[in-house]
């Protein structure tokens, strides 16, 4: 580190989250933005990172290679696409750079790359870096343990029209939380949408409903519906700032002498299991 400032590289500069991260780090006196990366061929490569984020010139051009970028960083924050994850993980491992990963929709190959990296450096991986969503996950886990198979469970999520994966990574994380807490296998009990004559629902299933519309930042509800009563746990985000602030908080946490390993936002916030 340089002094007490955490040196951070942002991977995925051109995305909504990338731009928000650049702005958040710029205004964080305890952090230093040392590199900003976007995909090869991007129109943003060569642009000033500050101008791209709408905060004025910061004197840091966007590059297209994560390897030299993470070599100068204590932590990389990556919100890109799954196909980029193995290369980012390899670059971080070679440089000994910690990683805060917000990319969702990873397949088995990408997840193996993340786990391989976590053997050498600390990695924080979360589908959602909001403090509120992390608390929601903890509450959902408690509710699922108490209610078990006595209720029907539905997970409803809504995002902006540009989101390309469905259900959201956060919705799937919530589904996994319910499944683990109630002794189910999500791969066997998940229902992704319904159409036609479906018949009565089986109590052990976990349903998912997805909305894509307008500029919705992110909304998640977990519905536990029983006979005569129901419990609804909901989180609504009105700004992406909360996700960027959470990711930078995770970067500070992971840079504070953490041992190699795979962590999540519950670890960052100190929320026990």
Determine the Cα–Cα distance for residues 260 and 98; give it in Å rounded to an integer: 9
Please state the φ and ψ torsions of residue 209, each to the nearest 5 degrees.
-130, 135
Query: Which of 162, 163, 197, 252 is flagged as catalytic?
Result: 163
Give the length of the chain: 273
Say whether 159 is catalytic.
yes
User: Please, which residues bridge with residue 77 across strands?
Assistant: 10, 100
241-254 helix and 16-26 helix, angle to the nearest 10 degrees = 60
CA dihedral defined by 206, 269, 241, 179, rounded to 10 degrees? -10
Indicate the pairing of strand 75-78 with strand 62-63: unpaired
Q: Check: CB of residue 123 under 8 Å from CB of residue 263.
A: yes
Determine the Cα–Cα distance for residues 216 and 98; give it in Å rounded to an integer: 31
Query: Which of 26, 159, 162, 252 is flagged as catalytic?
Result: 159
Q: Where are the beta strands (DSSP E) in 41-160?
A: 62-63, 75-78, 98-101, 122-125, 152-159
User: Please, which residues bridge with residue 230 across strands?
Assistant: 225
Give, as one character, the DSSP assignment of residue 65: -
Determine the Cα–Cα distance for residues 85 and 113; give it in Å rounded to an integer: 7
Helix or strand holding residue 86 (H, E):
helix 85-95
Say whether 160 is catalytic.
no
In sequence order, the 6+-apart residues with CB closer than 8 A to the CB of 202 are none
Enter the tokens of residue 86.
């193995």
The residues annotated with a catalytic role in the active site are 159, 163
């Amino acid at each position: 580190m340089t002094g007490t400032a955490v040196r951070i590289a942002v991977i995925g500069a051109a995305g909504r989250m990338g731009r928000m991260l650049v702005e958040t780090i710029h205004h964080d006196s305890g952090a230093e933005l040392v590199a900003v990366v976007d995909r090869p061929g991007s129109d943003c490569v060569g642009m000033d990172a500050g101008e791209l984020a709408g905060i004025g010139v910061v004197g840091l051009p966007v590059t297209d290679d994560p390897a030299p970028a993470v070599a100068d960083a204590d932590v990389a924050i990556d919100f890109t696409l799954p196909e980029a994850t193995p290369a980012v993980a390899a670059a971080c491992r070679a440089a000994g750079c910690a990683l805060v990963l917000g990319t969702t929709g990873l397949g088995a190959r990408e997840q193996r790359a993340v786990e391989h990296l976590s053997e050498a450096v600390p990695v924080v991986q979360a589908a959602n870096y909001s403090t509120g969503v992390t608390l929601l996950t903890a509450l959902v886990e408690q509710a699922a343990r108490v209610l078990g198979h006595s209720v029907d469970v539905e997970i409803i999520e809504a995002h902006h029209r540009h989101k390309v994966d469905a259900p959201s990574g956060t919705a799937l994380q919530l589904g996994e939380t319910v499944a683990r807490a109630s002794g189910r296998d999500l791969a066997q009990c998940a229902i992704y949408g319904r159409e036609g004559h479906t018949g009565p629902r089986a109590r052990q299933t976990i349903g998912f409903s997805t909305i894509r519309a307008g500029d919705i930042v992110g909304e998640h509800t977990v519905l536990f519906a029983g006979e005569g009563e129901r419990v609804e746990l909901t989180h609504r985000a009105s700004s992406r700032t909360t996700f960027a602030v959470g990711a930078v908080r995770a970067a500070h946490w992971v840079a504070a002498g953490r041992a190699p390993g795979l962590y999540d936002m519950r670890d960052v916030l100190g929320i026990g299991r």
